[in-house]
Amino acid sequence: MKREKLILAVTVAAALLFVPFNGHRHGVPEKSFATVHAVSAPLSPYDSIIRSYADSIGWDWRLIAALIRQESRFNSKVISPGGAVGLMQVQSARYSQETLMDPEQNIRIGTRYLKKLEQMYSAASRLDTIKFALSAYNMGDGRLSRLMADAAESGKDPRQWEEVVPLWHQSRRYVNSILRLYDHYLLTQPSALRLRVLSDTIPTN
């Protein structure tokens, strides 16, 4: 009898380990579980600054973090061969190199520019708007405008990013790389605002 009870107890315990998570996990309510896992390792030394300025332009901070990771690998002192400086690789004659190497100033200037680019494009969806802004950040708005004009001349929809940026174009790889990083950050930095940046309910101005 004792042996049968022992076998039963082991079987029940093993089964509980493989019960699908549906509101509770190992007896922890879903809300508590989310709260515990939201306190995860930081993405960078600049998370609080990124959060603040991302909020100011209505973007998910994890997407801005993904862009910064792509641009500089969170190195605030890096200077590109073309003269782009700091975390967001800002290139501007208006600011000194010292200013652009300051993490907060760099993120402030970079996110403000990103918002300006976002407002320049009337796209088919919120996601297309984000992709256009990221592409323009990468290649410049002049080059992107020419691609949009080429797409329109070819009978394609210039409001759809997939129709505008060719498969071979470096900017397509750039944007897709940032969005893959963003997907990863969504898993490592969960939030009630998950995927909100891709929602069409987010205002664009």
CATH number of the domain to which 76 belongs: 1.10.530.10
Is the domain of 32 the same as that of 53? no
Q: Clarify whether residues 116 and 178 are in a common domain.
A: yes
Confidence of residue 41 (pLDDT cuts 50, 70, 90): confident
pLDDT at 171 over 60: yes
Average pLDDT rounded to a whole number, residues 61-86: 97
Residues 12 and 105 in one domain: no
Same domain, 58 and 28: no
Whether residue 10 is predicted with pLDDT greater than 70 in this model: the reply is no
The predicted model gives 17-22 an average pLDDT of: 34
71 is annotated as an active-site residue = yes
Tokens of 40: 């995860």
Q: How far is CA 132 from CA 105, 145, 168, in A?
A: 24, 10, 16
Candidate list 71, 104, 153, 162, residue with the active-site label: 71
Per-residue tokens: 30 = 């879903």
Tell whether 105 and 137 lie within a shared domain. yes
- Asked if residue 86 and residue 29 are part of one domain, the reply reads no
Same domain, 53 and 14: no
pLDDT higher than threshold 50 for residue 24: no
Give the number of domains in the chain.
Answer: 2
Coil, strand or helix at 79: strand
Alpha carbons 145 and 4: distance in angstroms, whole number: 74
Q: Mark whether 28 and 52 lie in a shared domain.
A: no
Asked if 164 and 148 touch (Cβ cutoff 8 Å), the reply is yes
Percent of the chain with pLDDT over 70: 73
Q: Are residues 102 and 129 in the same domain?
A: yes
Domain co-membership, 121 together with 61: yes
7 has a pLDDT exceeding 70: no
The tens digit of pLDDT for each residue in 79-132 reads: 999 999 999 999 999 999 999 999 999 999 999 999 999 999 989 999 999 999
**Where is average pLDDT lowest: 33-37, 130-134, 172-176, 195-199?**
33-37
Domain-embedded: residue 204? no
Residues 12 and 111 in one domain: no
List the domain range (segments joined by +) for residue 113.
47-198
The answer to whether residue 203 sits within a structural domain is: no
- What pLDDT was estimated at residue 178? 98
3-state secondary structure of 81: coil
Neighbours of 141 (CB within 10 A): 17
The per-residue pLDDT for 190 is: 73
Residue 138 class from Cβ within 10 Å (0-12 exposed, 13-18 middle, 19+ buried)?
buried
